[in-house]
Structure 1
Amino acid sequence: MQLIYDTLTGNTRRFTLKVADCTGLEAVALAEADPRGPYLLLTYTFGSGVLPDSTAAFLRRHSPWLRGVVSSGSFHWGENFGRAGDVIAGQYGVPFVARVNKSGSAADVQAVAAWLSRQEADAAD
């Protein structure tokens, strides 16, 4: 599975690279991505809970391979923290794997890595 990320401030990129280091999976910036197989989307939430235009446009073209979503944001947005993940999961019917504060914690990395490991195991069956 590929890790495809969209970032504004660099937080999502930093988190994705930590997950890639932990799992050995390829991390690709959304602007450069052209998925030909399953991928996990890692994106940020813009402002008070808005899906970034770049992420929305990407999904319109590449949603068939989408297998899950991770959304970053900041706790200070309250109920809108990481809301882009809720929007994507609902719209595309995929799991909302994790809601990550800024560039995430070690526990966040482990949780996403564990989810990815389960996906790999399920694909092998």
Structure 2
Amino acid sequence: MMRRVAVPAEKLPSCGGRALFEFEDKSLALFNIDGRLHAIDDGCPHQGASLCGGQLQGRVIQCRAHGLRFNLETGYLLNSTAIKVGCYQVERGAIKYLSYSPDQQLINRLSSALALALVFAFASSAR
């Protein structure tokens, strides 16, 4: 089911800024890049480190914990379509997102964790 959640004006980041927005059981990182708002899950799919405080380079956020880099427009890990952070559409100060059951959220996290483990295993074996 699609839901819309209004973001209070004081939580909307100014141009070039970022903000952490929490509601219900979600924690989202909001980024304002060239006047366009981007919203992603704040937790990195690897080990849950906050992405809001990561290094921002254009439309790419780098996790501070292990350096994984995610595209803010798609949510995907750079150079991969196997690993993705939740990415949400922002319209007129409201975030649109799909409301999942807790079981579906667990399945999505496990899928990302398995894909990430395979990427690291492959990278380690290539050395």
More strand by share: 2
- Give 1 or 2 for the bigger CA radius of gyration: 2
More helix by share: 1
Higher relative contact order (CA 8 A, sep 6+): 1
